[in-house]
Structure 1
Amino acid sequence: MSTYSEIKELPEKYRKYRDLIIKLFKQYNISSTSSLIKIYKNNSKFKNEWKRIWVEVSAEEGGKLSLTTIGIIIGSALGSVGIATMGSAIGVPLALILGLGGFLSGTKIDSLKIFSENKKITISLPRELYEKIDLDSKVAEQSMSKLLELIIEEAYK
């Protein structure tokens, strides 16, 4: 999926979770970021509901939460209930900033595969060696990356 497509679908995709958080804010009379923090620290029922929502979001996302997802949902929820931050209600711009910032940060983190079981390496090869590996990968009907992975695994057995 392209970056543009992913950004375009985010608000619609997470609307139900934003609405659940807004409902939770209203249920517990949360009207500021400080009241959110205070209730989270002191109210186990709220904390459990808060966690349940994020577990549900995570399950829909295949078991992971991105910074984009969190930023979009929290930013839009804060703005929708009119929570003032630093003297002004900035929910919509906050959703955009958190969402875009989270998206860019998350994309970079994902590209580095920091949390992946498989790590990526980059090497430079002489053209002659590259062409031999390329030919062998075509004969073996494997991608060049997969062929190299198999060769390295075999060498370290």
Structure 2
Amino acid sequence: MQQIRPPCPPFLTAADAARKVRLAEDAWNSRDPEKVALAYTADSIWRNRINFLEGREKIIEFLEKKWRREQEYRLIKELWAFHENRIAVRFVYEWHDDQQNWFRSYGNELWEFDGFGLMQWRVASINDMPIAESKRRFFWPQGRRPDEHPGLTELGL
């Protein structure tokens, strides 16, 4: 039986596309690789920085390694554009390494979904900027960003 992950394409309204983006943000902020991987098709294709991945198992391995390195990870995603079964997103996340060096990572993603709402293709371009801990902007408790927390536009990011 095919898994369905609403909202499903075609994305007809900005509200539907923004809901899909928020669900993705929530999953990534869980830092649970297996939960995140369920939003992708079994044969999903990714390009993440210089990494090219195919399939859920590779996605899980990638995310496990990522979140071991990127500690105290907190992410905000924002809808940029949408059309039919595609969504463009910009995002920012903050994290530190095992030496307590803080970073703010800026990026853009292109997503393509199958008819069941699973992401079948993801392309992410990301740049890391070292920041002083005093420059951090994301302070909610680890996990889902509270609804009242400002988004990227409100934060001027």
Question: Please, what TM-score do these two structures have when normalized by structure 2?
Answer: 0.29
Structure with the larger helix share: 1
Bigger RCO (CA 8 Å, 6+ sep):
2
Structure with the larger strand share: 2
Larger Rg: 1
